[in-house]
Structure 1
Amino acid sequence: MSLEPTAWRRSSYSGGTGGNCVESATNESRALVRDSKLDDSPVHVFTAQAWAAMTNDLRTGFRGREPRLRLT
């Protein structure tokens, strides 16, 4: 699988101060995520389903339940 996306999208929370944020992109049926400060940073690959679940959990604050996606 190629990790070359069509375009990276920088988080709206990145701002211009060089804070800790991410860029995301899609490729085939995957979501790609990397450090917004480093163009050549490692790319983390998620299935579309895992990415949707994680971003929904972050957006809704988990609504009083445990996260569905655990990173160990």
Structure 2
Amino acid sequence: MAIVPQSAEALQWFKSSYSGGNTTECVEAAQLADGTAVRDSKRRDGVRLSFSEEAWGGFVVAVRERRLG
């Protein structure tokens, strides 16, 4: 995991369809050349984290299989 530089404004961010409908639990993600960036949709200028393709893929599989608490 790394912090995405502030120059990441050109990224195309999207919200998960599983985010809370009342906008209290939303995160946004964006594709990177070598992984995925994630940010808090309520703090778009805040910290952005990046994950390798392998790490992000593992997270998505764990969510789909309901292996996360």
Runs of 4+ more than 3 Å apart: none
Question: Identity over aligned residues, as a percent?
Answer: 29
- Where does residue 27 of structure 1 map in the other structure? 32
Q: Greater relative contact order (Cα 8 A, min sep 6): structure 1 or 2?
A: 2
Kindly indicate which of the two structures has a greater share of residues assigned to strand. 2
Q: In 1, Cα distance between the equivalents of 2:23 and 2:12?
A: 20
Q: Using the TM superposition, give the Cα deviation of residue 42 of structure 1 relative to its aligned residue in structure 2, in angstroms.
A: 0.5
Correspondence list, 1:1-72, <5 A: 4=8, 6-12=11-17, 13-15=19-21, 17-62=22-67
Q: In 2, Cα distance between the equivalents of 1:6 and 1:18?
A: 21
TM-score by length of structure 2 reads 0.73
| Conserved 8 A contact 1:14-1:22 | no
Q: In 1, Cα distance between the equivalents of 2:50 and 2:40?
A: 13
Structure number with larger C-alpha Rg:
1
Q: Using the TM superposition, give the Cα deviation of residue 6 of structure 1 relative to its aligned residue in structure 2, in angstroms.
A: 3.1
Q: What's the C-alpha RMSD, in Å, of the aligned pairs?
A: 2.1
Instruction: List gaps (5 residues or longer) in structure 1.
Output: 68-72
Instruction: List gaps (5 residues or longer) in structure 2.
Output: none
Q: In 1, Cα distance between the equivalents of 2:54 and 2:47?
A: 21
Across the two proteins, how many residue pairs are aligned to each other? 62
